[in-house]
């Protein structure tokens, strides 16, 4: 008789993992202070304070906060000079906004495959995707792990193409000792509710480039002119500003994120070591040059051939029954209906045949191998992390010893 919870055994755990988002007294105090005395929107001290502290934290000269990561992406692309009909190179293994922001800027997302070891954009695939229409390259630091920025910056330099980092998941991550986001022209962050820093919604753009940031200011603020009149508009922008309450909630999290990062680091090391020793489960590698991983999501790779061909979904079910929720995560973005059928709505996509794209590494990871744990699972105690490891070991052990239970 199997001891797996899926077949009636006792689950490894019944307790939930740490609650997220986390309403601390620091956030409450900060919110009340802004509510009572700092203004709620444009000109609020809370916004200035957050932008300046976040720029410092991320090793950048400037920060502009935005209403979301998606609006930050659109603003950054526009400010980076992307125009109608231009091409922007993006990975297909990411959240939809990375590519849909390109469409929203009237430009064309060009997908380049990822590296199956690191899940980040493969620089060789980027180089092969460049055309004379390529006006930006947008690496995503997936799950908080920096993309290969040395190689990507070099490609950008060789071809005169700006690099805009999608660091939506990578608060605090570092490349060669410098925090990500302003390694190229600029980069964006998200503070949506699942992120490692959150105000429910929100985003930010950081950069060291004055002209780029002046353009970001305009696009994110109704096309206004930096230092100009209130009713003076130079660009087609929108109101994509962050509100002061969100900024006041984010400010104390710059500090708490750093404590969280230490917990995440410790738990990720424990998990990496444990999954490495299970035949058929593999850890995702970090690019050389990563000096700090943000450990937003924890992703491992499942190889069904090591488990008698048992599909990943059966593994998920068994893990869930043990009280540890694992799931598949992203699907290849080029399969999304929005890219395939909407050429009438987006005429600049008319000649693009996303539907026939096939990128082997993205498909291997998305369709077969990726096993995701949500970010709050990395915030637990050592005991919590041991439970995750016990569940991995219990389930994979049973799949080896009792494959018929899963295959029937
Ligand atoms: C990689 C990536 N890019 C962009 C976004 C968009 O951010 P938001 O949800 O704040 O618009 C997200 C998160 O949701 C993301 O994970």
Atom of ligand 1 nearest to the CA of 169: 16
The reply to whether ligand 1 has any atom less than 6 angstroms from the CB of 70 is yes
pLDDT at 344 over 90: no
DSSP letters spanning 130-156: --TTEEEE--B-GGGPPP-HHHHHHHH
pLDDT for res 372: 98
With a 6 Å cutoff on the Cβ, whether 100 touches ligand 1 is no
For position 375, what pLDDT does the model report?
Answer: 94
d(CA 238, CA 229): 16
C-alpha dihedral (274, 276, 278, 280), degrees to nearest 10: 150
The pLDDT, as a whole number, for residue 160 is 98
Which atom of ligand 1 is the closest one to the Cα of 72? 11
First to last CA, the chain: 15
What is d(CA 290, CA 349) in angstroms, rounded to the nearest whole number?
36
User: Can you spell out the DSSP letters for 250-299?
Assistant: HHHHHHHHHHHHHHHHHHHHHHHHHHHTSTTEEEPPPPTTEEE----SEE
Pocket mutation for ligand 1, best pick of 21, 70, 330 (most atoms within 8 Å of C-beta): 70
Q: Which atom of ligand 1 is nearest to the CA of 142?
A: 1
190 forms beta bridges with 203
Tell me the pLDDT band of 118, cut-offs 50, 70 and 90.
very high
pLDDT in tens, 17-26: 999 999 999 9
Is the CB of 97 within 6 Å of ligand 1? yes
Q: Looking at residue 346, what is its pLDDT? A: 84
Tell me the percentage of the chain whose pLDDT exceeds 90. 95
pLDDT greater at residue 348 or residue 372: 372
List the 290-292 sheet strands across, edge first.
Answer: 178-179, 174-175, 290-292
Half-sphere exposure of 332 (CA within 13 A, CB side): 23
**DSSP string across 27-52:** HHHHHHHHHHHT-SSTT-HHHHHHHH
State the DSSP code for 354: G
Q: How far is the CA of 355 from the centre of ligand 1 (A)?
A: 23
For residue 19, report the distance from its CA to the centre of ligand 1, in Å: 21
Query: In the block, which residue shows the tokens 């995701």?
Result: 372
pLDDT at residue 2 tops 90: no
What does pTM read for this prediction?
0.98
CA atoms of 256 and 258, how far apart (whole Å): 5
- For residues 130-145, average pLDDT: 98
At 227 the pLDDT is 93
Question: What percentage of the chain has pLDDT greater than the value 70?
Answer: 100
Query: For residue 156, what pLDDT is reported?
Result: 98
User: Ligand 1, atom 10: nearest CA belongs to which residue?
Assistant: 69
Q: Is the pLDDT reported for residue 1 higher than 70?
A: no
Give the span between the Cα atoms of 141 and 174, in whole angstroms.
Answer: 10
Most ligand 1 atoms within 8 A of CB, residue of 190, 195, 196, 240 to mutate? 190
Pairing state of beta strands 186-190 and 164-166?
A: parallel
The CA 243 to ligand 1 mean position distance, Å, reads 18
**Among the listed residues 9, 4, 18, 8, the one whose alpha carbon sits nearest the alpha carbon of residue 391:** 4
Quote the tokens at residue 211. Answer: 């002209």
- The band of 233, judged by pLDDT with boundaries at 50, 70 and 90, is very high
Q: How many CB atoms lie within 10 A of CB 403?
A: 15
Q: Which atom of ligand 1 is nearest to the CA of 97?
A: 4
How far, in Å, CA of 307 to CA of 287, rounded?
28
Task: Look over the chain and give the mean of its residue pLDDT values, rounded to a whole number.
Answer: 97
pLDDT tens, position by position, 269-314: 999 999 999 999 999 999 999 999 999 999 999 999 999 999 999 9
Peptide bond into 21 cis (omega under 30): yes
Instruction: Give all domains of the chain, ordered by start, each with its CATH number.
Output: 5-20+255-407 (3.90.1150.10), 25-253 (3.40.640.10)
For residue 145 and ligand 1, the question of a CB distance below 6 A is answered with no
Cα-to-centroid distance, 296 and ligand 1 (Å): 12
What's the 32 CA to ligand 1 centre distance in angstroms?
A: 28
């Amino acid at each position: 008789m199997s001891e797996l919870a899926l077949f009636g055994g006792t689950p490894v755990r019944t307790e939930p993992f740490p609650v997220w988002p986390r309403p601390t007294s620091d956030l409450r105090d900060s919110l009340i202070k802004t509510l009572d005395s700092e203004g709620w929107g444009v000109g609020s001290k809370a916004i200035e304070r957050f932008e300046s502290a976040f720029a410092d934290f991320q090793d950048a000269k400037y920060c502009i906060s935005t209403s979301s990561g998606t609006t930050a992406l659109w603003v950054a692309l526009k400010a980076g000079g992307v125009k109608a009909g231009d091409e922007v190179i993006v990975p297909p293994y990411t959240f939809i906004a990375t590519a849909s922001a390109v469409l929203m800027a009237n430009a064309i997302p060009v997908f380049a495959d990822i590296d199956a070891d690191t899940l980040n954009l493969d620089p060789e695939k980027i180089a092969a995707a460049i055309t004379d229409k390529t006006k930006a390259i947008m690496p995503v630091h997936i799950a908080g792990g920096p993309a290969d920025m040395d190689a990507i910056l070099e490609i950008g330099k060789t071809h005169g193409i700006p690099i805009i980092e999608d660091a939506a998941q990578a608060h605090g991550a570092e490349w060669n000792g410098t925090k990500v986001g302003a390694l190229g022209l600029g980069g964006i962050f998200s503070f949506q509710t699942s992120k490692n820093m959150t105000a429910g919604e929100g985003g930010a753009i950081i950069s060291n480039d004055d002209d780029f940031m002046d353009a970001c200011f305009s696009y994110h603020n109704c096309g206004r002119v930096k230092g100009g009149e209130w009713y003076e508009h130079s660009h087609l922008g929108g109101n994509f500003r962050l509100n002061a309450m969100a900024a006041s909630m984010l400010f104390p999290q710059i500090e708490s994120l750093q404590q969280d990062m230490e917990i995440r680091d410790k738990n990720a090391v424990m998990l990496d070591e444990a999954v490495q020793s299970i035949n058929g489960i593999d850890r995702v590698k970090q690019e050389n040059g990563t000096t700090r991983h943000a450990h937003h999501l924890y992703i491992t790779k499942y190889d069904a051939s090591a488990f008698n061909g048992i599909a990943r979904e059966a593994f998920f079910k068994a893990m869930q029954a043990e009280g540890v929720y694992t799931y598949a995560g992203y699907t290849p973005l080029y399969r999304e209906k929005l890219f395939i059928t909407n050429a009438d709505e987006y005429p600049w996509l008319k000649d693009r045949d996303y539907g026939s794209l096939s990128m082997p590494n993205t498909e291997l990871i998305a369709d077969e191998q990726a096993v995701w744990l949500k970010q709050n699972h990395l915030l637990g105690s050592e005991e919590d992390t041991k439970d995750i490891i016990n569940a991995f070991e219990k389930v994979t052990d049973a799949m080896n010893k009792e494959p018929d239970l899963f295959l029937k």
